[in-house]
Amino acid sequence: LNERVEIKQEMSMKALDKAEERHEQKNFEIAMQKDVFIFSQQQTIEKLRKDLDARDEKIAKLTKPKKFQQL
C-alpha cells in the first residue's frame, strides 16, 4: 500500500512538473507575441510620424509666400 502511494505521488509530481513546464512555455509564447505586436505598432507609429512630417513640410513649402507676394 505504501509503495502504491509513493508511485501515485511520483506520478502526480511528474504531471505537475509537466504542467508547470507547459505553463512556462505558454507564458513565453504570449510574451513573444506581445513583444512582436508592440514592435509592429512602434514601426507603424514611426512610419506615420515620418509621413506626417513630410506632409507638414510640403504644406509649409506650398503656403510659403513668394517674393512678389511679400511686396
Taking only the tens place, the pLDDT of each residue in 15-31 is: 999 999 999 999 999 99
pLDDT at 14: 97
* Number of domains within the chain: 1
In angstroms, the CA 58 to CA 56 distance is 5
CA distances 37 to 25, 31, 41, 53, Å, are: 18, 10, 6, 24
Domain that holds residue 63: 2-70
Taking only the tens place, the pLDDT of each residue in 40-66 is: 999 999 999 999 999 999 999 888 877
In angstroms, the CA 57 to CA 62 distance is 9
pLDDT at 65: 77
- Look at the pTM and tell me if it is higher than 0.85: no
Kindly state the greatest CA–CA separation across the chain: 107
Confidence class for position 69, pLDDT limits 50, 70, 90 = low
